[in-house]
Structure 1
Amino acid sequence: MNDAVARQGLVLMGCGKMGGAMLSGWLKGGLPPASVWVRDPHPAAWLGEAGVHINADFPDAPAVALIAVKPQMMGAALPDVAALGGGKTLVISVAAGTPIAKFEEVFGPGTPVIRAMPNTPAAIGRGITAIIGNATATDAHLALAEELLSAIGQVVRLENEAQMDAVTAVSGSGPAYVFHLIETLAAAGVAEGLSAELAMTLAKATVGGAGDLAEQASEDPGQLRVNVTSPNGTTQAALEVLMDETNGFPALLKRAVKAAADRSKELSRDG
């Protein structure tokens, strides 16, 4: 774990599922519990056992303040950490729908701010997080954010903040699309005569295994699809339905992702 973080300290605002997953990863990675200050109105019991500071006064200039509160709690949470602005502390936000400009208003334009969008597989260390920094954030700040956020999975950098809406729609909301795919695939199996339990077992394992294969294989997903599709076979029969340009996956997912991206833009404006 980064020496500066261990030496100067890290403030974690909010320690729910996402904040807790990150903290667990940092502690496993060697960050001393005494270097962590957690601010949370309802701290979990395991935090006390972990040895971190809970709802205590912050150090004067921690290396990082990571904001992991829910967007609706942002107004109440930010004043508590506003004093950390000015440039000595890197501010990282994993809160959805809150633009960098909001944090610059609170912490001041001289504060390095990085906005991050993780997703729910972070809970098992399989998430992916996209990050973008403000003009004050340096490559060193971005590298530190990558190191911290890698505790919950992969990290990618964006070219500009406007891309965050598309990221939200693809990877942020994307797990819900996959969960719904599992639900509907299992329901289709039941309609063809399988028991509900067996259909769900098959659907979960199929989606999970295919996702792992897509990540690990040297071929791209298009080629993997071709590999499993025999001419005039069962898979081709199904794909002719799913790949229909009007009613299949291409049109459906394009509409779904656009709806999510549009809503993300609305939330950012409201924030």
Structure 2
Amino acid sequence: MDCESVEAKQAIDICLLAGKMILQSGGETVRVEDTMMRLTSALGYPNAHSFVTPTVILFSIDGHEPNTRIFRISERSTDLRKLAEVNDISRKIVEGGVRPEEAYERLKRLDEEKRSYPLALQAAGAALVSGCFLIMFRGGWPDFIPAVLAGAAGYVAFVWIHRFVAVKFFAEFLAAFVLGAISRLFVYYGLGHDLDKIIIGSVMPLVPGVLITNAVRDLMAGHLLSGTSKGAEAFLTAFAIGAGIALVLSI
């Protein structure tokens, strides 16, 4: 690959697109900046600068001020498949195994893909996770089915409510209320025994584990702004879940 033939605009387009997909797919800030720096160096521009937060990517190359770009991140989720494919493409660029034009087209196709697992399969996964966490927290096998059903119902409620309500924390609050109410009904009618363990197991699919992990990693890497903001988002999510459960228990 002839690095000198890669224009600055094309290099920035490739880096911004890769960084955007990593950030939107649940990658931490330090991974985004590291990937972008490695790409620009491989494309012939070692003197590049990036500033990444959970909502903004600012990127420029020395000597090419008109090509300084800013990108707004409005939606974030967890998509490990897309994250792995972006990493694979970026490694091939660094190793010289793919031309920049081809890499950009592959990144564009990957970005435009809307593949996701069917809701039924996601609900089945949430149900299995809920049941396994119940057992891990030393819950009894008689409570396994209630935890499975409550966890699946809570996750489906979150997905459906979030489709109509843009505020994620409100959707998490209502989802926690739904699974808490279902868990309480199981215990009330004698189909479940330990309400605490059922709720703990069924609420786990909603817990912001990726956010907490990324917040800690960003803080340890010195990205204080990103780490603090992700930690605050994780705290709000945990608060919304706790408030939904607390409302059920107080009724």
In the superposition, the TM-score normalised over structure 2's length comes to 0.34
Which has the bigger relative contact order, CA under 8 A and spacing at least 6?
Answer: 2
In the superposition, the TM-score normalised over structure 1's length comes to 0.33
Higher strand share: 1
Higher helix share: 2
